[in-house]
A and B are shown apart, each in its own frame.
Chain A
Amino acid sequence: MNRFSYHRAGDVAEAAQMGAEADTRFLAGGTNLVDLMKANVERPTRLVDISRLPHNKIEELPEGGLRLGALVTNADTAYDARVEQRYPLLSSAILAGASPQLRNAATNGGNLNQRTRCYYFYDTATACNKREPGSGCGAINGVNRIHAILGTSEACIATHPSDMCVALAALEAEVRVEGPGGARVIPFADYHRLPGDEPSKDNTLQPGEIVTAIDLPADSFTENYTYLKLRDRLSYAFALVSVAVGLTMEGGKIAKARIALGGVAHKPWRVPAAEALLEGQAPSPELFGRVADALLQGAVGQGTNDFKIDLARRAIRRALRQAAAGTPQSQTDKHVA
C-alpha cells in the first residue's frame, strides 16, 4: 500500500477538522479501508484513527429507543442483550454478514460506510466511475452477477454490500453525524444515495463528517420479522438478494409493514407504496405476490444478473410468509422454511 501519515484523534472536533482535508481517511475497524488500500483503490496520504473516540457504547434513549455508538463492533451490537431482545431483526442481519473475525473488528459506523464489492471497483486495471469518475463502467455489459437491478444509472450498477444496513432501513433508524459544520441527524433512507451521475458518492456525508451513532426507534418488530439472505454459498458471502421484513400484526391482520431489500441496489431498497399494500390486510400468497411486484417495479437485469429479478420476487414472498408466521430465518440452520 502507499505511504501515509497516521494521526490518533483526541476528540470528534479535531477528527472532523482533519477529515475535511484532501486525501484523508478515517480509520476505525479498518476491515474495508485497509483492504482497499492494499488494492490501491484507496490511496490516502493521512489516516486519522478515530477508534479511541468515546462513541463506543450502546445506550437507552429517553423515548424508549436504543443508541448504537458508531464505534461499537458489529459483534458486540448483534450480541447485546437489548438488541437481541428488542431488535432481533438487526441482530439477525448482522450475524448473516461477514465472519466472526470481521464482525469483531468492524464497527457500526464502518458498516454504513463500507464500499461496494463490485469487482471492477476493486480492480484498478479496469474502468470504474465510482473509483475514477469519467473512466466508464466495466460492469455494464461485463460480468455483473452481483450487481444491481434497481436504481441503476448509465454510470454505475454497483450495490451496497451491507446486511446490517438492510435491517436498519426496515427499522427506520437515524444516523447521527458530526462534522466541521456541527451535528445533524439523517433519516436512514436519506443516508445512502443512488449512483446517478456521481457514483463516487456512496452517501450524503459532507467532507469531514463522522458517524457518531445510529439511533433505533422505540417501535420495533420482536415477533413478526425475518432477515432472509440468499447467496452463492451458505455462509461468509455477500448477498445476491436479501430481504428484511418487520410486521406488526393485530388480530390476524397486518397493521404495519416495513420491507427493505439488499443486494439489488446502490442502497437498501424500500418502496413505501409496496408496504402500504399490506397494511390492514390479512396475509395471503396473492397479496405477497402483489407486494413483491410493487417492490420490484422497474427492475432491469444487466445480463449475468437477470436471474435476480425472479430470485428477489420469490425471496420477498418467502420472507413475508416467514415474518407473518413469526418463524424468522435462522442464520445457523440454513434450510429456508
Chain B
Amino acid sequence: MSATVKKAGFGATLWEYLTTVDHKKIGILYLVAGMFFFILGGLEAMLIRIQLIKPDNDFISAQFYNEVLTMHGTTMIFLAAMPLIFALMNAVVPLQIGARDVAFPFVNSLGFWLFFFGGVMLNVSWFVTGAPDAGWTAYAPLSIFSEGHGVDFYAIGLQISGFGTLMGGINFIVTIVNMRAPGMTYMRMPLFTWTAFIASVLILFAFPALTVGLFLLTFDRLFGANFFDPSMGGNVIIWEHLFWIFGHPEVYILILPAFGVFSEVVPTFAKKRLFGYSSMVFATVLIAFLGFMVWAHHMFTVGLGPIANSIFAVATMAIAVPTGIKIFNWLFTLWGGSIRLTSPMVFALGFIPTFTIGGMTGVMLGSAAADFQYHDSYFVVAHFHYVIVGGVVLGLFAGIIYWWPKMFGTMLNEKLNHWFFWLFFIGFHLTFFVQHFLGLMGMPRRYWIFLEDQGLDFFNLISTIGAFFMAAGTILFLYNVVVTQAKGVKVSGDPWDARTLEWAIPSPPPFYNFKQEPLVRGLDPLWIEKTEGDGKIKPAEPLGDIHMPNNSFVPFMMSLGLFIAGFGVMFQGSYWILAVIGFAITAGSMLYRSFKDDLGYHVHKEDLEDEKGDGSNG
C-alpha cells in the first residue's frame, strides 16, 4: 500500500513504480521514459546531421541512414513527444481540476506500460535484423518490400504503444468530464486542462485509424494479405489515407497541449489573466475540428486531382485563423502585464516568433499548387521542425521546468535553464531556418547524400553546426536535472506565484492530492483567493475519509504479455510458442483482474489530521 510514505530502499521504490496507479508517479514514469527516448531520437538526429555535413559523405551507409531517419521520426513523435505530453497531463490535469486521481487509475498505469513496452519493442529492432527503414510514414509498398523484420517491429511496436495512448486518451476525457471539483465549470478550467481534454478527444478519434493501418500492414507482411500489393488488386493509397487520417490530428494532439502550457506560463509570469479566455477555448476546439478535415494536404502530389486538392488546400489555410487568434491572445496577455523573465517564460517567448514562422510556412504548404515544389523537400522538414520543435518541444520544456517544483518539490537552476534555452534556441534556428532554402534549392527530404556542385554544401554545414548547439543545450539540461535532484533543496507549494489550483497544495502534493475537495470560485482560483481572499482555497467538504485505489502489478504483466506475443507473431515458425505464452500472460492477467475484486482502500480522517501537509498550503 502506497499510503505509508517512508524512506524506502531501492527495491521498494522500484516495486512502487512498477505497480503504482498514482497519476503523479505515472507522470514521472512518462517523463523519465519520454526523456530517455528523446535523447535516443536526438542521437539519431545527430547521426543524420553528421552524415549531411558535407556532400557525398560516407559516414554511415545508405541502408543504415534510412533506418536512422525512420527511427528518428518514429521515436520523436511516438516515444518522446507523446509520452512527455502525457507526463505533463498526468502530473497536472487532476491537480488543476481539483481531483484526487484520474478516472481510471488502473487503466492509466496500463497505458503507460503499453507505451513503454511498445517503445522498447521498436528499439529492440536495432539488435534483431535491423531497424525499420521505410520512413516514419512507412508508405506502402516500400514498407511491404522492406527486407528483414524492421517494419514488423514498427507495425507491432506502434500497435502496442498505440493501444496505451488510446487508453490514456479515454482516461483523460472521463477524468475531465466527471472528476472536476465543485465550482470548476468548463469555462473555469485552466487552458492546459482544456487542451489536454481536446487532445484526448483527438487521440480517441484519430488513433483507431492508425490501428487499422498498422493491422493491414502487419497482415500484408506477416500473413500474406494483399491490401497494398498492386499485383493482387491492392491499393497503396489506402495506407496513405489511413496514415494521414491519423497523422494530421496527431500533429494537433502534440501541439494543443503545448499551447495549453503557454497559456498557463504566460499569464503567470505576466501577472495577468489570459486575454480572451473564451476565444482561446473556441480556437482550440476549432483547430481540433478542422484538424480532421485536412489530412489530404499531406497527399497533394499523390494525384487526387485538382478538386480534392483545392478543397483540402482551403480547409488547411482556414486553420491559420484560430491559430492566429491564439498568437494574438498571448501577445495581448503580455500587453499591460508585469513580465518576469523566468526560464519557463523565456521558453514561451521564444516560442511565439518561432511558431509564427512555422505557421506561416504551414499556410504556404497548404497552398496546393505551390506545395508541388515544397512537398517532400527540406522545406517541409524545416516547416514541421518549426512546428514540432519550435512549438511542441519548447512547450514541453517550458512545462517541464514550470511544473518541475510541483512534480519533484525542487527547483531547477534558473541560470542553467537560461543557458539551455539560448543554446537550444539559437541551435534550433541555425539548424532549421536554412533548411527552408535547401528545400527550395532542390534538396528532397530523406536524402542520404547530396551531390557536390549543386549549391547545397554551405547551408547543410550550417544546419549541422546548429544541431550541435541543440545537443549541447540538451546535455546542459540533463546536467541541471542531476545537480538539482542531488542537492534536493525543497521549495514551497507555490514557488512561481502562480494562479491555478495545483499551486494551492504542497510540492510535491500528498498522494491524495487534496485533503478536502477544493471549492472553485472562478477562473484562476488561486489568484482569486490571493487577491480577494486570504490566499487559501476554501474546502468544499468537511474533512473525511479518502478513498484511494490499490497499486497493481497487473498492468505491467498485461503489457509484458503483448510484448512477448509480438515476437511470436513476427518470427512465426517455432516462435509461435512465444505468441501463445504472451497472449496467455495477457489474457491471464485480464482474468485475474476480473476475478479479484479491487475496491481500493481508505485513508482515515484521523490520519489526515495528523499529517502536516495541509491541503491549502500557500
A binds B: no
Chain A residues close to B by CB (< 8 Å): none
Chain B residues close to A by CB (< 8 Å): none
